Structures are given as structure tokens and as C-alpha cells.
Amino acid sequence: MSTVLNISSYKFVPLPDAPELRELLLARALELQLKGTILLAHEGINLFLAGAAEAVREFVAQLKKDARFADLEPKESWSDTQPFKKMLVKVKGEIIRMNHPTIRPSEGRAPAVAAATVKRWLDQGHDDAGRPVVTLDTRNDFEVDAGTFEGAIDWRIRKFTEFPQALRDHLDDLRDKTVVSFCTGGIRCEKAAILMREEGLEHVYQLDGGILKYFEETDGSHYRGGCFVFDERRALGADLQVTELLTDR
């Protein structure tokens, strides 16, 4: 049985004390012998941690004592070995870089749609209003190559900062459709969905919790391949276990 608990979570919330928070969280994580990465910025927190289950859950419990993080719901998966080499806590300009300062999810997020609803829409080929549904992959090209939803729109972006221009180049292709933006855990598709709304697209949703939540709450239907993750596991399958990259097969 796998004994290493892996979690990922994020929240857009103002953190003016990010530098001080960095020292506190690093000390806490090291004390609990956790490894991974925590990114802090004025706009929020993004974390990937792994370790013994009790230690990981103790870290989360302590984090939730801060009212700003009380509603964090980390996504969990298991592995046989520790997928991270060290423990890093960094303060950045953005927890996911878009270079678009008007996008502030903490001031109001785009509508989210649950994994089960997305599966049902894809099963029936349209949303509940009868509009055609398209899935939009907001990840980088090499992540898409590891696996994605069947028929997903892929603009072959090399980094997330290219997304705004790619969107403007393809706006007309998305009009009059229901667009479900998705990414690994939800952080990129949240910013992407807000930008699409600002650009005038009416029927835009983000896949709540991203691909990993979709795997957790459905049978993985309509998704082909694995989900690329930025640690030594490289990719997870619909069962949230390590799988081969499509490019390795």
C-alpha cells in the first residue's frame, strides 16, 4: 500500500504578509519533514506537498487556523516514494504568472462547474441549455501531450503568459458555445475563465478543481492519457496513480 500522501491546493486571497508567512510555513513544513513547493504572492497561495499522512494533515490543519485558508480543500493522491527532493517556500509576483494585473480572482471568480456536471455535458454532447460544449486546455503544450480531454481545444501555448494573446486570436471560434476551461488543479483555468469573461464570452466556466478533481469525482470518462504533474511522478492516471506519459508509450 502506498504510504506517501501528496496534496495540492491553492487559493486566491490577498496576502500582504507573504514574506513573513514564508518563514512560518517553511519552519512548519520542515518540522513535519514534508517536501514540496509552496508559492506565496500578494494574490494568494499555491502548494504541493508530500510526506507521511499524519504530518501532511497536521500541516493543513495548522494552515486552516488562519481564517484566510479555512476553506482550503486539498486534492489528495498517494505514491510509494517521496516525489519531491526538497522543501521550498517562495514569494513570487504571482502564484501563477499571467502578466495580466487586472485579473484578480480574489475579487470574484468566474463561475465554476462541478466535475460530475462536465461529465454529464460531455456524455450528452451539450449543456443543459442545449448549447454545444467545448473544453479548453489552458496548460502548456508539453502537459497537453501527456493527456487531455477528447477534442479539447489546444492552442499549443508554451507558457501561461501566452494565453491572453492566444485567446484574442481565437475569440470568434468560442462565441455561442459553452466553454469549460481546465488545467491540472484549477489555478490556471480560474484566471483564464475570468479573462474570457472580460473579453466578452458569456458562457464560460472553469472546471472546479481541475483535472485532478475530475479524476477524483468521476470515472475519468472523456479524458485520454494521464495528467502531467510537476514532480517525479510525472503523470497521474484517472485512478490518481502514477502512469506513463503518452510520449513514452
Distance CA 109, CA 103 (A): 10
The domain 105-248: what is its CATH number? 3.40.250.10
pLDDT for position 244: 81
Cell numbers for 84: 519531491
Active-site residue flag, 183: yes
pLDDT above 60 (res 7): yes
E strand intervals along 53-192: 75-79, 87-91, 112-113, 133-137, 147-149, 178-182
Tell me what the mean pLDDT of segment 12-18 comes to: 96
Query: Using N-to-C axis directions, what is the helix angle for 115-124 and 210-217, rounded to 10°?
Result: 80
pLDDT above 70 (res 248): no
**Mean pLDDT, the chain, integer:** 94
Domain residue limits, the chain: 4-91, 105-248
Confidence class for position 104, pLDDT limits 50, 70, 90: confident
pLDDT for position 246: 63
pLDDT for position 103: 80
User: Looking up cell 494568494, which residue turns up?
Assistant: 44
Cell numbers for 2: 502506498
Q: Is the pTM of this model over 0.75?
A: yes
pLDDT above 70 (res 247): no
From the number of C-beta atoms within 10 Å of its C-beta (0-12, 13-18, 19+), residue 141 rates as middle
Distance CA 68, CA 102 (A): 22
Distance CA 115, CA 210 (A): 8
pLDDT for position 2: 79
Question: Which one of the listed residues 118, 183, 207, 227 is annotated catalytic?
Answer: 183
pLDDT in tens, 172-206: 999 999 999 999 999 999 999 999 999 999 999 99
Span 4-91 CATH architecture: 2-Layer Sandwich (3.30)
Among 49-58, 61-70, 96-105, 125-134, the range scoring the smallest mean pLDDT is 96-105
